[in-house]
Each structure stands twice: as structure tokens, then as C-alpha cells.
Amino acid sequence: MTTAVDRVTVTTVADNYSDMLLLDEPNVKRLGLVHHFDPGMVNPRAENGIAFLVRTERDGRERCVLFDTSFTAGVLLHNFEATGGRLDDVCGIVISHGHPDHHGGLDGVLAAIGHEVPVVIHPDAFLPRYLRLPTGEVAPHYNYALTADAIERRGGAITANRGAIEVVDGVFATGEIAREVPFEAPASPGCHDPGLFQLIDGSLGPDTVPDDQALAINVRGVGLVVLTGCSHAGVINTVECARRVTGEDRVHAVMGGFHLGFPGIPASKTTATIAALRELAPRVVAPMHCTGMRAAMEIAREMPEEFLLNVVGTTVSFGAADA
């Protein structure tokens, strides 16, 4: 049996959406109208990206891990201030994959932390990536700034992982995610994003995002809290991987990008994802970021009890005492 934490608190420090009209719910805290109207408070900002500040408690000890760093350090650091997050508390950073909406703020956040901090990242995240749209428009080598040198110069101590690792007690970076669920398998419709390419062993091929990984937190008496970046490997494959890595079968919460909104992904994939999520029976489902508004609305409609509208500034707590 793997390690478990007593409690975890997940603050969304960056996401595509902001909504200052949301109210607190049991175990869910929002930045709301006071933040909006009081000129002395800092309002959170939304951008195309994602970042979670994950605070765990285990045997009276707190640990803090940052999962992904959103698109820009400007928004990420601003939202740290808005949410009351403390950079000094961050004892590890995990990058879900090498797309800019997930690592873009890394350089700036390392500079702001100002001392050595572990950075967990799959080695293929450093391979050159390109965008070429069907219209012929090209974004050349867009991840050129993401290098091991650049991270180390800023004080990042890299762990380049292909397999799973325990970042701090009870918090696991999944490593590579097997793509086994039929509607999320490599040959399934919408599995690869058209237009995205990666240079591997000197040849340019479709960007299958081999570096995609998630964060799984094993909460004692509750089950797994699974946080996803983009879910390029498929959100159901991701949850299954989290179960294997932790040895814990109960899935309590799935939160993050489900990657159902990218152009070219068929609506049938959302339907299949919802059916599979129902079988996993999590208590909380929070589709965010690249899930896309249309798919998120369908999840909200089909899983109203489980759906959580989780936006920038939302903090959710999970622990046996909260269940």
C-alpha cells in the first residue's frame, strides 16, 4: 500500500476562466464579490493555461507542490498574490507536459522563488515542437525557451522522469500514461491534434505528447484526487494510470483539462468520456482549461451532482473529515 495524506487542499492558481459570482460551498472556497469590489484586494486573472497549488497535510506536517505553471509568469505570480499562495512554501514543481500553457510561467516562478527547488518533468518535454495549421500558418519551434539549462540556471533541480515518482509523501507524478482505453487509444478519432508536430530522433511526426503526465494525491479514507494538465493521453487513461501508480482504486475527484475542446475532436468522445467517468464514480468532477465550454456543459448536465465549476481562485479541500 502506498503512502496517503490526511488532507489535501487544491487551489487553482491559473485557468482559462474567472467567475467572481460563485459562492462558497462545503469544502469549496471562492474569491468572490468582496475581491471584485474592494479596491484593496487583488483580483485573479484568467488566461489559456492551468496551475494548481497543492497543499497536503500528513501527520501534522504540511507540504506544498505546484502542478503546472500556466502560460505566463505575470498571470501566475499575480494570481499567487490574489489567492494568498506563498512561493516560499513550494517544495516541488511538476510539469504535466511541454506545451506553453503549462510550462510558460516556469522560468518566472523559479526566479521569484529564488532558491533551489525540484522540478519534475518528462525528458521528451524538451524535444522541439511546431504548429502547422491546415491553412498553412506555422508557429516555428515554439518551445525553444524550455531547456534543461534554462531551468537549472534559475535554480530548478530537474528530475527527468519517464516513470512514476512520489514527489512528496502521498503525492505522485504519474510519469508516462498508457493509452489503452479504446476511445482514447492512438488510432481513435481525435486522439492526435491535427497541426501539432514534434521532432523525435531527428524526424518530424505528429505530436502525440509522450511526455503527458498527471498528479495523483492519495487521501487517507477518501481515495484519489487526480489533477490533469491537458489529458492528451485521455482523461480516463490518466485516471487508470493514477490507480495503478498509487495502488488505490477509489477515485474521489478528477480535476483539470480533459482535452475535449481542441478543434477536430468529435463530440462522441465527450459522450464516451462521460460514460466512463460514471463507471469510475468520482464524487467530484471538475472539467477545466482545454475541456472546452461545450464538453464542460455536457458534463455538468449529465453529472450534476459531481460537477464542480472550478475556476481561477477556487480552493477545494479533501479529507476524511470533509467527506
DSSP bridge partners of 108: none
Q: Is 101 in the site for Fe ion (CB under 5 A)?
A: yes
Task: Rank residues 107 and 211 by Cβ distance to Fe ion and give the closer one.
Answer: 211
Stretch touching Fe ion by CB under 5 A, among 36-44, 55-63, 224-232, 265-273? 224-232
Least CB distance from residue 108 to Fe ion, whole Å? 18
* Residue 76: all three cell numbers together: 501566475
* Residue 237: all three cell numbers together: 487513461
Stretch touching Fe ion by CB under 5 A, among 92-100, 157-165, 244-252, 266-274? 92-100
Q: Is 217 in the site for Fe ion (CB under 5 A)?
A: no
Q: How far apart are the C-alpha atoms of 233 and 306, rounded to whole Å?
A: 23
Cα distances (angstroms) measured from residue 176 to each of 80, 110, 160, 203, 234: 29, 24, 12, 21, 12
Q: How far apart are the C-alpha atoms of 110 and 231, rounded to whole Å?
A: 25
Q: Is 51 in the site for Fe ion (CB under 5 A)?
A: no
Task: Rank residues 10 and 168 by Cβ distance to Fe ion and give the closer one.
Answer: 10
* Residue 146: all three cell numbers together: 524550455
> Which residues in 129-158 contact Fe ion (CB under 5 A)?
none
* Candidate list 164, 227, 230, 245; residue touching Fe ion; CB under 5 A: 230
Least CB distance from residue 102 to Fe ion, whole Å? 6
Q: How far apart are the C-alpha atoms of 53 and 60, rounded to whole Å?
A: 19
Task: Rank residues 15 and 101 by Cβ distance to Fe ion and give the closer one.
Answer: 101
Least CB distance from residue 150 to Fe ion, whole Å? 19
Stretch touching Fe ion by CB under 5 A, among 76-84, 166-174, 225-233, 298-306? 225-233
Least CB distance from residue 294 to Fe ion, whole Å? 17
C-alpha gyration radius of the chain:
18
Task: Rank residues 193 and 240 by Cβ distance to Fe ion and give the closer one.
Answer: 193
Stretch touching Fe ion by CB under 5 A, among 24-32, 39-47, 218-226, 227-235? 227-235
* Candidate list 99, 129, 179, 243; residue touching Fe ion; CB under 5 A: 99
Q: Which of helix, strand or coil describes residue 34?
A: helix
Q: Is 290 in the site for Fe ion (CB under 5 A)?
A: yes
Least CB distance from residue 143 to Fe ion, whole Å? 11
Cα distances (angstroms) measured from residue 272 to each of 28, 230, 242: 28, 17, 20
Q: Is 125 in the site for Fe ion (CB under 5 A)?
A: no
Beta strand residue intervals within the chain, DSSP E: 7-14, 28-29, 51-58, 61-67, 90-94, 117-121, 129-132, 138-139, 156-160, 165-168, 171-173, 196-200, 203-206, 215-219, 223-228, 251-257, 284-288, 315-319
Task: Rank residues 6 and 101 by Cβ distance to Fe ion and give the closer one.
Answer: 101
Stretch touching Fe ion by CB under 5 A, among 106-114, 171-179, 282-290, 301-309? 282-290
Contacts of 45 (CB under 8 A, 6+ apart): 18, 75, 78, 79, 82, 312
Task: Rank residues 173 and 290 by Cβ distance to Fe ion and give the closer one.
Answer: 290
Stretch touching Fe ion by CB under 5 A, among 62-70, 99-107, 170-178, 262-270? 99-107
CB 64 within 8 A of CB 87: no
Least CB distance from residue 100 to Fe ion, whole Å? 9
Total residues found in the chain within this entry? 323
Which residues of the shown chain bind Fe ion in the complex (CB under 5 A)? 99, 101, 230, 290
